[in-house]
Amino acid sequence: MGLPRDENWWIKDRRLEPSHGYRAVHVMHGDHRGTVEVQIRTLLQHQWAELSELFDRISPGTKYGAGAPKYQQILNRESWLIASFEDQEAHAGLIAPEELEMHRREIIELIADVVESGSLEYP
């Protein structure tokens, strides 16, 4: 990334080092006035993060690797699916566009089913 050459800027790429399934790029700047952080994530990464927050409200600690095991399983599976999809998307010449679209829809539907169900049970 083209950041200014300044020790006050740094990047944490959680796509390379996920935290309990969380994936995004964090760009930060800090100086004597404080620190500013921007999280850059895809739509699927954002939807996953929203699901993680929802589960964390129901079962505290979920987004940090604790909480109910069923929610951890859902988040881990969805994180893996999203990472797989985004990796395939990055190499789109190797996979048919129809297959990529089918995979994208599957991920969105899985997340939507969990979020929209009143009981938050995995479909």
This model's pTM is above 0.85 = no
**Inter-CA distances, 111 with 6, 11, 114, Å:** 39, 28, 5
Express each pLDDT in 68-81 by its tens digit. Answer: 999 999 899 889 98
Instruction: Give pLDDT, residue 123.
Output: 45
Q: Is the pLDDT of residue 115 over 70?
A: no
Region 96-100 average pLDDT: 72
